Amino acid sequence: MAANDAFDFAVYLVYRLTGWFLGLFPLVGVFRFGQAAGAIAYVLLRSYPRLARENIRIAFPDWSSREVERCARRHFMDLGANLLCSLVLMGKPWETVRKYLDLTNLERIQESMNRVGSVVWAINHIGNWELFVYTTRIVRPATHGVVYRALSNRFIDTHVRRVRGSTGLKLIERQHGLAQCTNLLKSGGMLAVLVDQHAGDKGVWTPFFDRLASTTPLPAILAKKTGTQLLPVAIFTTGPARWRLEVGDFIPQEGASTEELMHRVNRALEALIIRRPSDWFWVHQRWETPSPKFLLQDYKRGVCTPRDVTVLASQFSQSCYRGLAGGYPAAGRLFSPLAKRLCQPIGSRTEGATSDEPSEDALFANSRADRGGSDQGVA
C-alpha cells in the first residue's frame, strides 16, 4: 500500500470509528457536542471564521459588526452539530431518520410534483444537507439521482457511495454525467443538483446577493433540454437534532435564457438563506474574483445582469480592478466592450433608455425589498 493510501486509510478508520462512537449516544447529545466543538473551532481557527464574516457582510451589508459576529459564531455551532449528526444518521433506516425530519412543507407541493413530469431539485448547503439522500423515500416512485463529485479519499468515497446508493439514489459523476442526467430526466425521474458553489470559469456570472458570482449552468441546461421543472429545496435546522424540509415554488422558465434561469435560481436560494442565515455554508469562496478570461469577449459562458440589479456596475468595476491589479497588471487591456459597458455608471448608459425609466436608487431599493430587505434578524 502506497504512503498516500496508508494515510487515507487511517483517515477512513478515524472517520468510521467516530461515526460508530457517536452512534452510542442520543442524537440530541451528539448535536449539543457538535455545537460545542463548532464554538471552540470558531475561537481557535482564524481564516475560516474571517471568511465567514466577510461573506456574511457581502450578503447583508447593512448588518452591524455585532450581528455579523453573532451569525458567524452560530454558523460554526450549527455546522459542527449537523456534520456530526450526519455521521450518525447516514446508513440508518428511514424509519429512524423520519423521527427527526419534519416533512409538513413537502406535503404542500407534493400533489404539484406528481402532476409534472421530471424535476430538477436545486439543492444547497443549508442545514443538514446530507439528509437529501432520503428523499427517495418521500416522493413519488421514480428513478432518483444526484450529481456527485468524487471525494479525494477513495476509501471514504467508496463508503459514502455505498451508503447513499443503499437509499435507492443513483449517483452520477459530475465530470461525465450529462448524458446520464438527460436520460434520467427524460424518463420522468428526479435529479438533485447543488447550485450554491463557486463554478469557476465553467459557470455563468450572475448576481447572488447583488454581487456577481460564478454559478453552475447545469440545472438550467437540463431544464431547457428536457422540459424539466426546477424546484428549490432546503433542509433547515429547527432545533437540537431536528430538521425541516422546505420546498419553494417551481421556478418560472417561459422565455428565459440559461443565464436568466440561473439568476432566478440564485434569487430563490437567497430567499431560503434569508429565512435562517446561520444555516448556510458561509465558509466557501462563493464570490471568488474572476480570472482575466472572464473579461474577454469570446468567453465561453455568459454574464447575466438583470436590470433590477443596478449596483453591479460599480461593484464589477471595483472588484475586477481590485482583485486583478496585483496578479494581472495588464487586466485593463483585457476588457471587452461588454465589460466596459458593465463598468459604466448606470446614468451614462443612454442607449435605449426612456425618460420615465426609474432611477438607480429606486431600482436598488426595489431589489433589496424583493429579496426580503436588509433588516432580517439573525436566527
Query: What pLDDT, in 10s, does the model give residues 286-297?
Result: 998 766 555 545
Q: Are 225 and 182 in contact (CB under 8 A)?
A: yes
Domain co-membership, 52 together with 125: no
Domain co-membership, 305 together with 208: no
Residue 377 placed within a domain: no
CA distance 268 to 208: 10
pLDDT of residue 156: 93
pLDDT of residue 327: 41
Domain co-membership, 157 together with 245: yes
Residue 65 placed within a domain: yes
pLDDT of residue 303: 63
pLDDT of residue 141: 75
Q: Is the pLDDT of residue 67 over 70?
A: yes
pLDDT of residue 64: 97
pLDDT band at residue 11 under the 50/70/90 scheme: very high
Mapped onto helix, strand or coil, the DSSP state of residue 290 is coil
Q: Is the pLDDT of residue 308 over 70?
A: no
pLDDT of residue 324: 43
pLDDT of residue 374: 37
Residue 147 placed within a domain: yes
Residue 376 placed within a domain: no
What's the average model confidence in pLDDT over 45-73? Answer: 96
Last residue of a domain, one of 224, 254, 279: 279
CA distance 317 to 321: 6
Q: Is the pLDDT of residue 365 over 50?
A: no
pLDDT of residue 193: 95
Q: Is the pLDDT of residue 166 over 60?
A: yes
Q: Is the pLDDT of residue 124 over 90?
A: yes
Closest by alpha carbon to 174, among 131, 203, 135, 211? 203
CA distance 235 to 103: 10
Query: Which of these ranges, 147-151, 216-220, 340-344, has the smallest mean pLDDT?
Result: 340-344
| Residue 47: domain span | 3-89
Domain co-membership, 117 together with 205: yes
Residue 132 placed within a domain: yes
What's the average model confidence in pLDDT over 181-196? Answer: 92
Residue 22 placed within a domain: yes
Q: Considering the chain, what is the average pLDDT of its residues?
A: 80
Domain co-membership, 188 together with 119: yes
Last residue of a domain, one of 89, 115, 144: 89
Residue 173 backbone dihedrals phi, psi, to 5 degrees: -65, 130
Domain co-membership, 113 together with 196: yes
In eight-state DSSP terms, residue 249 is P
pLDDT band at residue 82 under the 50/70/90 scheme: very high
pLDDT of residue 304: 67
Beta bridge partners of 212: 207
188: left (phi over 0), alpha (psi -120 to 50) or beta: left
CA distance 22 to 27: 8
Q: Are 177 and 194 in contact (CB under 8 A)?
A: no
Domain co-membership, 275 together with 308: no
pLDDT of residue 351: 35
Q: Is the pLDDT of residue 325 over 50?
A: no
Domain co-membership, 143 together with 178: yes
pLDDT tens digits for range 28-49: 999 999 999 999 999 999 999 9
Domain co-membership, 245 together with 124: yes
pLDDT of residue 289: 74
Domain co-membership, 19 together with 149: no
pLDDT of residue 345: 39
The single-letter code of the amino acid at 175 is Q
Domain co-membership, 16 together with 133: no
Q: Are 362 and 310 in contact (CB under 8 A)?
A: no
Residue 95 placed within a domain: no
Tally of domains within the chain: 3
Last residue of a domain, one of 63, 89, 115: 89
Domain co-membership, 110 together with 257: yes
Residue 378 placed within a domain: no
